[in-house]
Amino acid sequence: MAYGAYFSDSFPGIVGDIESSQINSIVFEVKDPYGRVAINSELHNSILRELLPQLKRAGIYTIARMVIFQDPALIENNPSFGIKNKLTGEPWADYKGIVWADPTREEVWKYNTNIAARALKMGFNEVNFDYVRFPTDGPLKQAEYANLDKYVTNENAISNFLQFTRKDLGSNARISVDVFGMTFLDNQYVIGQNISEMAKYINVIAPMPYPSHYPDGFIGFSNPAEYPYEIIHYTLEKGFKKLEGSNVIVRPWIQDFDLGAVYDERKVKEQIRAVNDFDIDTWMLWNASNRYTFEAVR
């Protein structure tokens, strides 16, 4: 049971809330969606060198979250590491104007595993990878990848990245990967997420079945956000069938933000109930503003 954390002045108060709840883990963002690496900052490192041992003594499990292939900072310093726009020759950008690192380049893989290794050495119990995928929006037909011919398919490229990561970090490294909720329903070939293949190289797979992110009319619900139990239960049921025979742990992200509906104590609890129905006692709360419904987990 975890929730996300940033480096902020409000952190001591959040720890107090954790101590009075079921929460026993904290997710720190050490590499953000803009490619900024928190552990490159001596200020953050000095905080972590003091904080991580304290959390360990308190029985708090710590997770270092990293955004992998969406990485403007890396491409600003190393343009050749980016996906190339075949029309302009410049780094390819999505519709938001954000540039991505090329998921087929081993230099990009090594850059990220180096950061992960540093986080584990600092004392984090686990590294959590997000955006382990090809982009979903933007002029996708203009995207050119350096080594896609070598891997043939997007999902094979992603699986090879995870295989590389496992070898580079070692068998004892604890690795989790976030995937779209829809990936538990069908393989997402375009973005390269195939959970049965990904599961071979990681310890934990973390689907993000946020009910607000499902299309209107999904499994008969005009507004899926209003039906958190049903949406998550259906998603996990389908996903477990795809993961039969795997030893990977399933640890879902749970919606704790208002989108499509007001996510109050009841809706958060309904999601936890759906997870518990599969004998899963581990999950993570997500709210981008770090405002959590602790009443639901006390």
pLDDT of residue 251: 97
User: Considering the entire predicted model, what is its pTM?
Assistant: 0.92
Q: Among residues of the chain, what percentage have pLDDT more than 90?
A: 82
Q: Over 90: is that where the pLDDT of 226 sits?
A: yes
pLDDT of residue 22: 80
Q: Over 90: is that where the pLDDT of 235 sits?
A: yes
Question: Is the distance from CB of 205 to CB of 249 less than 8 angstroms?
Answer: yes
How is residue 30 annotated by DSSP?
A: E
Question: Is the distance from CB of 68 to CB of 30 less than 8 angstroms?
Answer: no
pLDDT of residue 23: 84
Among 18-22, 110-114, 259-263, the minimum mean pLDDT is found in: 18-22
Q: Among residues of the chain, what percentage have pLDDT more than 70?
A: 94
pLDDT of residue 2: 46
pLDDT of residue 11: 62
What does the pLDDT average to over 284-298? Answer: 85
Q: Over 70: is that where the pLDDT of 204 sits?
A: yes
Say whether 24 sits in a helix, a strand or coil: coil
How many domains are there within the chain?
Answer: 1
Alpha-carbon Rg for the chain, nearest whole angstrom, is 19
Q: What is the length of the chain?
A: 298
What does the pLDDT average to over 106-111? Answer: 98
Q: Over 70: is that where the pLDDT of 77 sits?
A: yes
Mean pLDDT over all residues of the chain?
Answer: 93
Question: Is the distance from CB of 6 to CB of 38 less than 8 angstroms?
Answer: no
What does the pLDDT average to over 203-227? Answer: 97
Which residues have CB under 8 Å from 85's CB, separation 6+?
91, 92, 93, 139, 142, 143, 144
DSSP bridge partners of 62: 26
pLDDT of residue 83: 98
Decide which of 79 and 16 is more confident: 79
CATH number at residue 79: 3.20.20.70
Instruction: Name the residue range of residue 217's domain.
Output: 2-297
pLDDT of residue 296: 81
pLDDT of residue 292: 86
Cα separation, 279 vs 286, in Å, equals: 21
